[in-house]
Amino acid sequence: MKKLPTLLASLLLAFGLASTDSAAAADQPAPIHFGAIGWESGALTTEILRLIVEHGYGYPTDTLPGSTVSMEVALARNDLQVIAEEWAGRSPAWVKAEQAGQVFALGDTVKNAEEGWWVPAYVIKGDPTRNLKPLAPDLRSVDDLKRYPQVFKDPEVPGKGRFLNSPSGWTSETVNSQKLKAYGLDGLYNNFRSGSGAALDAEIGSAIRRGQPVLFYYWSPTPLMGRYDLVRLEEPPFDASAWATLTDAANPTPKGSRSLPAKLSIGVSKAFRDAHPELVAVFEKVDLPIATLNKALARMSETRQPPREAALAFLRDNPTVWKAWLPAENAAKVEAGL
C-alpha cells in the first residue's frame, strides 16, 4: 500500500508528459509537401528551397514522388504545396489548374533555359582528335533527319533510327512523341523512352564517350550541357496553335513547332499562396544564375552527391546569390543552419 502514492505520482507524471507531448505535436505545423522532382536541376532546386524554408522560417518539409503531370494534379488539390522547378504552361494539367486559380507560377528562377533535340557536334563536323569522321555533314534541322535514320540506327529495331525521348510520365515525352509524328519521323525512328532521367543521361553519356552517333531530347540547365559539345537541331518557329497539338497526346494531326519558350518558375498551390505570404515573397525573388547552377549540377553529377548535400554546398558557396532573396534576419537563420 505504501507504494500506491509513488505509483500514482508516476502515473500522473507520465500522463502529464504525454499531454505535453501531444500539445507540442499539435502546435507543430504540418509539413510543407514538395514534389520529388526526378531530374537533377529540379532535385537540387527543391533541396535549396527546403533548406531555406526549414532553417530560415522554421517550417518542416518533406517530398512526395510522382510524374510531372501527377504532381501538377496533386498541386491543384493541395496534396502538394510546392513544385520547385515548374516549366509553367507546358502541360494541359497545369494550364487547366492555373486558369481555375488553383496553382500559381512564382518568379523566373532560371534565365536562358531551353529544350530541344540535340546531337553531338562530331556527328556533323567529325572530330580529328578522336579520329571521327562526319556522319551527317548536312544535318541542320529536324527535317534533315529524314535522310539519316541509318546513322542513328536502333540496335533493337532493324531498319529504324533511335530517338531518345524523355521517360514516360514527363510532359516533354508527350510533346516529343507528337513531334515525331508532326515531322514525319515516326515511321523512320523508334521512339525510345528511357526508364528515368538517370537512364537517359547514362545512354547519352555512353554513346558520346564511345564516339557513337546519338539523337536525343534534352534541356538546360543541366550538367550534360556544360560537359559536351552539342548541336541543337532547328525546328519551325514557335506557334501557339501548333504547340496545343503537341501537348495533346490524343491529337491525330500534330503540327511542328519549337517548344514553348522556357520560363522556369516555382509552382505553388492556392492554399500555400494564401497561407504563406512570407515564403511567396522569397520564391518570387529566386534567381539561379544558369552558369553557377550548371557548375553546381556538374559537381553533383560527377561526385554523385545527393541533392541535399549539393544544396548545402550551393548555399555555402554562393551566399550573395540566395541572400538577395531573403530579409536579413531570415538569411542569418539559414546561414546559422548551414
What is the tens place of the pLDDT at every residue in 271-324?
A: 999 999 999 999 999 999 998 998 899 889 889 999 999 999 999 999 999 999
Q: Tell me, what DSSP letter sits at residue 184?
A: T
Residue 163 has pLDDT above 50, yes or no: yes
Half-sphere exposure of 17 (CA within 13 A, CB side): 5
- Helix pair angle (40-51, 307-317), 10° resolution: 60
Q: Are 272 and 282 in contact (CB under 8 A)?
A: no
All domains of the chain, ordered by start, with CATH? 29-111+263-337 (3.40.190.10), 114-246 (3.40.190.100)
- Res. 26 pLDDT band, cuts 50 70 90: low
Distance CA 103, CA 81 (A): 9
What is the model's pTM?
0.73
Closest to 164 (Cα-Cα) out of 86, 224, 107, 79: 224
Residue 256 has pLDDT above 50, yes or no: yes
**Which residues have a Cβ under 8 Å from the Cβ of 297 and sit 6 or more positions away?**
40, 41, 44, 221, 222, 223, 226, 310
- Res. 114 pLDDT band, cuts 50 70 90: confident
Distance CA 94, CA 90 (A): 7
Q: Are 318 and 301 in contact (CB under 8 A)?
A: no
Provide, rounded to the nearest whole percent, the portion of the chain with pLDDT above 90. 76
Closest to 264 (Cα-Cα) out of 86, 82, 81: 86
Distance CA 114, CA 20 (A): 52
